[in-house]
Amino acid sequence: MRDEDIGQFQQSLRGRLITRSDPDYDEARALYNGMIDKRPLLIARCANAADVMAAVNFGREGGLLIAIRGGGHNGPGLGSCDDGLVIDLSTMRGVRVEPANRTVRVEPGCTSGDVDHATHAFGLAVPFGIVSSTGVAGLTLGGGSGYLTRAHGLTIDNLIEADVVLADGSFVTANMKDNPDLFWALRGGGGNFGVVTSFLFQAHPVKMVFAGPIFWDAERHGKEIMCAYRDFLPEAPEELGAFVGLKTVPSMDPFPREAWGKRACAVISCFNGSEEEGKKALAPLLDQLPEPFFNWMGVMPFPAIQSLFDAFFPKGLQWYWKGDFVTFLPDEAIDTYIAESAKAPSELCLVHLYPIDGAASRVGKDETPWGGRDATFSMVIAAIDGNPQQAGALKRWGRAYWEAVHKFNPGGGYVNFMMDDDDEARVKASYGDNYARLAAIKKKYDPANLFRVNQNIRPAA
Ligand SMILES: Cc1cc2nc3c(=O)[nH]c(=O)nc-3n(C[C@H](O)[C@H](O)[C@H](O)COP(=O)(O)OP(=O)(O)OC[C@H]3O[C@@H](n4cnc5c(N)ncnc54)[C@H](O)[C@@H]3O)c2cc1C
């Protein structure tokens, strides 16, 4: 690549072009997952859709590998690439709330915390994930599940429209009326179809919630808790978002000292309503369960539960991810979950089962490409530690755990909970019958597979 071409490209941008000789190159290329170390040739930090169009054209004409970066949270680091061009959207962070029709226009560099902050002032929220530093763009394009999913569906079920820069550099809007095939594909098909420069979401009334974690001793009570949670959930009101997890009680204040370092079974809930109603909703579960290590549920603003765990997961930790869609959770599977969890090599390692029911399960299997509509849970195994020397142990634990439980879940999993060892067959399994339609739409909008740094959908033959 000639310096002259790079110089011209820089001049065509309102944003910044960062090269390997820039003093902040290492900071600019760093991803959320410290296990991933990629060295792009150029990072185009775009300021607007015009910059994105210029970047797509420059990358395509120069034969560069292109990666698209929203929040940079992706497990295998699909927001970056080696030796190619990163289209970095991280400074495009505008949010505009329309209170009259409860919609929110969101730029693609926003974290879910950015949007929660803006909508909370209006008593509104969009269903996103459970850690507020996660990028809205990657989360949405993969599906998006969180506390509001039982009541209001996945993030994609609340997407009304997206602006997209396509592989040929052109700009289109996709919604139910305009480019409906592209709009269908964007709702779960990941970053395969173009660079989204703006999202329009439906928001819902959410202000103060009754929320927080309850932890029990996993060794003594894990099976009882998980079985009770599984049986309770189908009857629970949809205003209650509650997931179950296996984790470790952090060895620090304010956690009870006698529980420090012990493996725990947790139910983490967010009830969109009053404390009284929330307690009533949870009573059929909690009344039958033993004393927990602690119950820290309380009334809080919705953004507080959305960011409650942020401090435990700063940028730069080592992460190894595995996931599955779970349709049945028999007692035998629960035994396996608990036994494998006890082997965790680090305090931060966790397994979560997020409910896929209520509003998310009322969307038809072919209304969006998202492959888990029939599932009961989206399960994630996250092997996490701050020490890079633990990377091998994390991968070994994550893989062994997944192999032990995958026999109960023979299908695919949520693409946003995958790592780089999840191959094409696994991506196909995750989309099931919708894969062929995705491949046909890919052929129409990106026939040369320019956008291939993602859970890739190959253009149909
Ligand atoms: C701590 C943590 C908590 C999480 N919790 C949840 C959760 O509760 N629920 C949930 O559903 N997921 C959750 N996730 C998973 C999350 O959805 C994925 O990591 C997702 O990829 C993050 O998106 P991003 O924009 O930050 O990632 P990036 O790494 O920037 O991008 C991820 C992928 O999306 C593509 N992409 C990004 N922006 C665009 C764009 N504008 N146009 C086209 N393609 C684009 C990229 O090419 C890449 O393939 C969590 C992840 C982490 C690290």
User: What digits encode the pLDDT tens for the residues 85-122?
Assistant: 999 999 999 999 999 999 999 999 999 999 999 999 99
> How far does the centroid of ligand 1 lie from the alpha carbon of residue 415, in Å?
10
459, two tokens? 């253009």
Going by pLDDT thresholds of 50, 70 and 90, the confidence category of residue 55 is very high
Q: What is 10-78 written as a DSSP string?
A: HHT-SSEEEETTSTTHHHHH--S-TT-----SEEEE-SSHHHHHHHHHHHHHTT--EEEESSS--TT-T
56: exposed, middle or buried (Cβ count in 10 Å: 0-12, 13-18, 19+): buried
pLDDT of residue 410: 86
- The Cα–Cα gap between 251 and 274 comes to 32
Mean residue pLDDT across the chain = 97
How far is 384 from 108, CA to CA, in rounded Å?
A: 27
For residue 391, pLDDT over 90 is answered with: yes
Copy the structure tokens of residue 457.
Answer: 């959908």
Over 90: is that where the pLDDT of 1 sits? no
Per-residue DSSP letter, 345 = S
Work out the number of other CB atoms within 10 angstroms of the CB of residue 170: 13
| Closest ligand 1 atom to Cα of 77 | 29
Q: What is the mean pLDDT of residues 140-164?
A: 98
Given the DSSP bridges, would you call strands 298-301 and 208-217 parallel, antiparallel or unpaired? Answer: antiparallel
Residue 243 has, within 13 A of its CA and on its CB side, a CA count of 23
Structure confidence at residue 304 (pLDDT): 98
Is the CB of residue 185 below 6 angstroms from any atom belonging to ligand 1? Answer: no
Sequence-distant (6+) residues with CB within 8 A of 220 are 290
Write the pLDDT tens digit of every residue in 220-275. Answer: 999 999 999 999 999 999 999 999 999 999 999 999 999 999 999 999 999 999 99
On the question of a cis peptide bond just before residue 254, with omega within 30 degrees of 0, the verdict is: yes
Q: Is the CB of 195 under 6 A from ligand 1?
A: yes
> Residues 218, 224, 230, 234: is their CA dihedral positive or negative?
negative
Residue 324 has pLDDT above 90, yes or no: yes
Residue nearest to atom 53 of ligand 1 (CA): 73
Asked whether residue 189 carries a pLDDT value surpassing 90, the answer given is yes
CB 398 within 8 A of CB 417: no
**pLDDT bracket for residue 214 (50, 70, 90):** very high
Q: How far is the CA of 74 from the centre of ligand 1 (A)?
A: 5
Average pLDDT over residues 75-81: 98
Bridge partners for 319 per DSSP: 384
Instruction: Tell how far the Cα of 285 is from the centroid of ligand 1, in angstroms.
Output: 32
Query: DSSP secondary-structure letter at 458?
Result: P
56, 78, 89, 139, best to mutate for ligand 1 pocket (most atoms within 8 Å of CB) = 139
CA-based nearest residue to 144, from 152, 130, 153, 154: 154
In ligand 1, which atom is closest to the CA atom of 451?
A: 47
Backbone angles phi, psi at 103, to 5 degrees: -115, 160
Q: Could you read off the pLDDT of 6-50 as tens digits, one per residue?
A: 999 999 999 999 999 999 999 999 999 999 999 999 999 999 999
